[in-house]
Amino acid sequence: MPTEPPPTTWVLPDPSIVTTGGLGDLDDLVAIGADLEPGTLLSAYRTGLFPMPGPRRDDPAYWFCPVERGVLPLDCLQVSRSLRRSARDFEIRVNTAFDEVVAGCADPRRPQGWIDRDIRRAYGRLHELGWAHSVETWRDGRLVGGLYGVALGGLFAGESMFHRERDASKVALLGLVELLRDEHADRRLIDVQWQTPHLESMGVMEVPRASYLSMLPWVLDVPLPEVFGGE
């Protein structure tokens, strides 16, 4: 079982009542500040928030709860025939190369890269405590893709994915879904933060913030899957 860290000393906002902008318009960004200690991160995910670095190097953490949240219920996964065939060429492993997966996701050559040193260090600590996990795609003994995120009850909060070979990140997502299929599969949810065309093609949908927040306690209130430390 994961180790519960000391509780956060920060009071995190309730994203269900947060408004920003001069006219009170809802916005994805709901808070700025706090720290990236394990207790703060876990409290944030349980509240519906996740962090990203600010636009400037010395900015504090920015905390988001998208107005339209990208989610993947397990039974909504869509897998093409070509992806099924491609998946046969890869091996799925879990938590054998967490730091390497995060490094692959943080590659500065990637467009719109956002993972900085503080984020890498923070999720490395969560991994050491048993909360953050990597799902990896390997071929011929080489790491060629993967994803990482945080597992809390029935929630897998995906942070980022990368690939070095065609379909390697998609196969990692396919592997994650298969790992989560157990007797609680109908109450497990993969949170991908924002929907993209790449993820939409695999069944990721958008749900309003209020809907995500209302389902979150129900999703969290199931055991962790065995593969991520559940009993």
Q: What is the residue extent of each domain of the chain?
A: 70-228
Q: What is the pLDDT of residues 188-221, one digit of tens each?
A: 999 999 999 989 999 999 999 999 999 999 999 9
> How is residue 28 annotated by DSSP?
S
Q: For residue 21, what pLDDT is reported? A: 53
Q: What is the pLDDT of residues 159-169, one digit of tens each?
A: 999 999 999 99
70-228 has CATH 1.20.140.10 classification? no
For residues 29 and 19, the model is more confident at: 29
Q: Which of 63, 57, 59, 61 is nearest to 14 (CA)?
A: 63
Q: For residue 57, what pLDDT is reported? A: 78
Q: What is the pLDDT of residues 171-189, one digit of tens each?
A: 999 999 999 999 999 999 9
pLDDT-derived band of residue 23, with 50, 70 and 90 as boundaries?
Answer: very low
Mind giving me the DSSP string for 182-209? STTGGG-EEEEES--HHHHTTT-EEEEH
